[in-house]
Amino acid sequence: MNDNVEQTLLITDIIGHIAAVQKRFQSEGEDEERRWMIKNATESVVIEFLKEASVQMLHVLDAIGELEPVNGITISRYFGIPRGSVSKITQRLVKLGVIHAESLSSNKKEVLFRLTPSGEQAFKLHQQLHEHMDDNFRIFLSRYNLDQIRFLSELMREVLETSWVGSEMVPVEAEDEHEDYKLSTNKISSPIDLQQKNEILSMLQNFDSKKLSRVKELIRIAFLED
């Protein structure tokens, strides 16, 4: 097979895989995670909660588990979730039996949230899920050698730094006499933009999957929702 033809076919295959991976993480992945937690839960209250729990409900539960006793304002700031949404979610969590609310004797308007024993189990299950996913992902990547890991790391960094909508890709002559695709020079991000992106990427590399999920949710709420 001609190298150019094979390259075109492989690129088409990769684009299809990217769409499939995105779909899996956005929908099927969430269902798979829910099934794992339900399978490992031992209390009926926890199982019923997990059947209904949305991503935001789990994030609010995580915030309470990490910060308890905590009020709604702190939860809102912690995740960037609107206070009205936090209020609705905490009310639902109380009804589901995974948190309880208590008013301060000195200020009845100040409500603090804590996990119930069932909420504690759900909170720990969610932590264990992300630890389990981290372990599996590390095992999955360990099948590749160091050069392959370096290539994958660099590829992902470049993918994150590239705009596929705002930038025009133009073919240029590569040193090995094969065509390579690079960004048009008048479309490349400024050094300041690249520095900021690299700083953010360096920070993200220190996060586990649980914290990365939280960052993704914050970005969605802060920048992607109308």
Residues 82-141 pLDDT 10s: 889 999 999 999 999 999 999 887 777 789 999 999 999 999 999 999 999 999 999 999
> Does some domain include residue 115?
no
Residue 10 lies in domain: 1-40
* pTM exceeding 0.75: no
> Does some domain include residue 198?
no
Tokens of 26: 């956005």
> Does some domain include residue 211?
no
Q: How far apart are CA 194 and CA 201, in angstroms?
A: 10
> Does some domain include residue 36?
yes
> Does some domain include residue 35?
yes
- Number of domains composing the chain: 1
> Does some domain include residue 34?
yes
Q: Over the stretch 131-184, which tens digit does the pLDDT of each residue have?
A: 999 999 999 999 999 999 999 999 888 888 888 776 566 654 444 444 444 444
What sign results for the dihedral spanned by CA atoms 3, 145, 210, 155?
negative
Q: How far apart are CA 164 and CA 159, in angstroms?
A: 9
